[in-house]
Amino acid sequence: MTIDSEHAGQAALSICEALLLAMNDSGLLPEHEIVGLLRDAAASHQNAAGTELEIAQHRSVADLINAVIAGGKSVRRL
């Protein structure tokens, strides 16, 4: 992965997290729906097919999404 694509990925994650927080803050999506959305995204990557490298990349993405869920970064839990 190039530096440019890594930066693009980090920017996309930051934007998505900000959007999820804004949707929760404005009452558009409750926390349980945001967590469900993230779990669905993680499951899609966890179950993805492909070459060994592609599967490993998808599992890394799933692990990252699961870490976001566990850390509560995209929802404001007290």
Count up the domains in the chain and report the number: 1
Digit-by-digit pLDDT tens for the chain (78 residues) are: 677 888 998 899 889 989 999 999 999 999 999 999 999 999 999 999 999 999 999 999 999 999 988 987 666 553
Phi, psi dihedral angles at 50 (to 5 degrees)? 150, -160
Tell me whether residue 45 is in a domain.
yes
Give this prediction's pTM: 0.80
**Distance of alpha carbon 63 from alpha carbon 69, whole angstroms:** 10
77 located within any domain: no
Residue 4 main-chain phi, psi, to 5 deg: -60, -45
Q: What is the extent of the structural domain holding 33? A: 3-71
**Does residue 9 sit within a domain?**
yes
Residue 7 lies in a domain: yes
